[in-house]
Amino acid sequence: MKDLLHWFDILGVIVFAISGTLMAHKKHMDGFGVIVLASVTAIGGGTVRDLILDVPVFWVQDNSYLYAILIAAFFCILWLRHKHYFPLRFLLIADAIGLAFFNIMGVQKALSLGVPMLAAVVMGTMTGVFGGLIRDVMCREIPLVLKGELYATTCIIGGSLCCLLWSLGLDAVFCMLLGGATTLILRLMAIRWHWHLTVFKT
């Protein structure tokens, strides 16, 4: 179980590192800028989560996450040098996959530490959105979480479902897979059909 969770975490880091690299390419950053943006996107949310939960920061304890960032950024750079472009949809899809992975990993870590379910949903949402938020702020973009299609809302729904199933005593991996799939599917549907949570009249 522990090994499976570790690989889920690594996959989330890889996908968000690719998302950060794509944004760095869009902004014409140099090599150092690529690594910085890939890193903050990949580990920013998890770092904030661990600091709030008062546990050792995950990537400080295990350098495999840093290696995963470097490898993902390197191969993404090679692909971009060959193609010379990327569709915006690639960035949105990569971000959506990373969002789903990190949301559920954040929920799982919080629940495993005995955090109440509502706080666990908040921790999952924070893990999912903060890396992308930092990335967008550094690039002087309006963060995805604050505009456009449903973003943090998909984390709340997916995380709440995971917590609910967890409280019913179902298998932890099943809870995480269903919660993560819900987050991803809702985010992709929001991108496809432009779903918004509108509160003000336009």
**Which among 131, 134, 106 has a CA at the least distance from the CA of 121?**
106
Q: Are 99 and 155 in contact (CB under 8 A)?
A: yes
The token duo for 102 is 């990190």
What is the distance between the alpha carbons of residues 13 and 7, in angstroms, rounded to a whole number?
Answer: 10
Distance separating alpha carbons of residues 132 and 201, to the nearest angstrom: 27
Please name which of 74, 76, 108 lies closest in space to residue 6, comparing C-alpha atoms: 108
Looking at residue 201, its pLDDT comes to 66
Find all residues with CB under 8 Å of 187, minimum gap 6, and list them. Answer: 96, 99, 100, 149, 150, 151, 154
Instruction: Classify residue 147 by burial, with Cβ atoms within 10 Å: 0-12, 13-18, 19+.
Output: exposed
CA 180 to chain centre: 11
Going through 124-195 in order, the beta strands assigned E by DSSP cover none
pLDDT for 175:
95
Contact 106, 49 (CB under 8 A): yes
How far is it, in rounded angstroms, from Cα 142 to Cα 78? 28
Task: Render each residue's pLDDT in the chain as its tens digit; 202 residues.
Answer: 678 788 888 988 998 999 899 899 989 999 999 999 999 999 999 999 999 999 999 999 999 999 999 999 999 999 888 876 767 787 788 889 989 999 999 999 999 999 999 999 999 999 999 998 999 999 998 887 887 678 999 999 999 999 999 999 999 999 999 999 999 999 999 999 988 877 666 5
* Encoded tokens for 65: 């996450």
Report yes or no: 50 and 56 within 8 Å, Cβ to Cβ: yes
